């Protein structure tokens, strides 16, 4: 095998590797944004239920002291602000639409990747011509900015082939959980805990 052919094969591997890494990362971005969108919706619904529950508690003031009712009134205001903030966040983030765009772009890149592999399979000496230009054209078409964590997720999926120790995989998934889900799970559980604390308090 001459040097020129080796260079061509390395260039082909690099281009196909970049395409694969990009489309897999975009699928990861789609899944992450959809998960965040669903958690945002669930959190908004949960906060609305908490607001309703606190309102009912305030209306049934015969069972609680004036001091406790005042605390619930303050808590109701806090929950209302959280609910409004969440609603605005969902509207401004556009996570659902963004996730769909990531999926569409990833699908186009995957098709390009599979086309390249098919051509190479049919002709082992096939030389890439305009495939790299098509790759950049697809990226330019969607103008999406990926988060580094989506690339990392792809890398840690292949931790064995990338010679990554399993402890680092665990640490990454903890980081991923904190980055994507923790705040919304706290929004689901923490308000309920506060309600229980207020009701159990002596005042």
Q: What is the pTM of this model?
A: 0.84
Please give the residue range of the domain that contains residue 175. Answer: 3-200
Q: How many residues does the chain have?
A: 203
User: How would residue 50 be classed by pLDDT, with cut points 50, 70 and 90?
Assistant: very high
For residue range 127-184, list pLDDT tens digits in order.
Answer: 887 888 999 999 999 989 888 999 999 999 888 888 899 999 999 999 999 989 998 8
Per-residue model confidence (pLDDT) at position 103: 97
CB atoms < 10 A from the CB of 108, how many?
Answer: 19
Q: What is the dihedral of CA 135, 137, 142, 144, to 10 degrees?
A: 60
Using the predicted structure, report yes or no on whether residue 202 has a pLDDT greater than 70.
no
Number of structural domains, the chain?
1
**Helices H / strands E in the chain, number of each:** 7, 0
Q: What are phi and psi of 31, to 5 degrees?
A: -65, -40
Tell me what pLDDT residue 63 has. Answer: 74
Count of CB atoms situated within 10 Å of the CB of 185: 13
Question: What is residue 10's predicted lDDT score, i.e. its pLDDT?
Answer: 67
DSSP class of 144: -
Count the Cβ atoms, other than its own, within 10 Å of residue 64.
17
Residue 102 to residue 143: CA distance in whole angstroms: 10
């Amino acid at each position: 095998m001459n040097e020129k052919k080796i260079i061509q094969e390395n260039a082909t591997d690099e281009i196909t590797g970049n395409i694969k890494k990009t489309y897999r990362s975009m699928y990861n971005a789609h899944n992450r944004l959809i998960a965040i969108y669903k958690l945002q919706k669930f959190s908004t619904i949960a906060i609305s239920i908490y607001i309703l529950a606190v309102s009912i508690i305030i209306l049934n003031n015969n069972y609680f002291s004036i001091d406790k009712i005042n605390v619930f009134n303050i808590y109701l205001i806090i929950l209302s602000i959280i609910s409004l903030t969440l609603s605005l966040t969902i509207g401004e983030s556009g996570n659902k639409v963004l996730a769909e765009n990531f999926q569409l772009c990833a699908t186009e890149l995957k098709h390009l990747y599979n086309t390249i592999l098919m051509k190479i399979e049919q002709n082992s000496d096939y030389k890439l011509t305009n495939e790299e230009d098509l790759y950049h054209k697809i990226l330019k078409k969607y103008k999406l900015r990926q988060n580094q964590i989506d690339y990392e997720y792809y890398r840690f999926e292949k931790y064995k082939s990338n010679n990554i120790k399993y402890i680092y995989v665990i640490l990454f998934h903890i980081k991923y959980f904190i980055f994507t889900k923790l705040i919304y799970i706290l929004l689901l559980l923490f308000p309920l805990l506060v309600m229980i604390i207020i009701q159990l308090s002596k005042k």
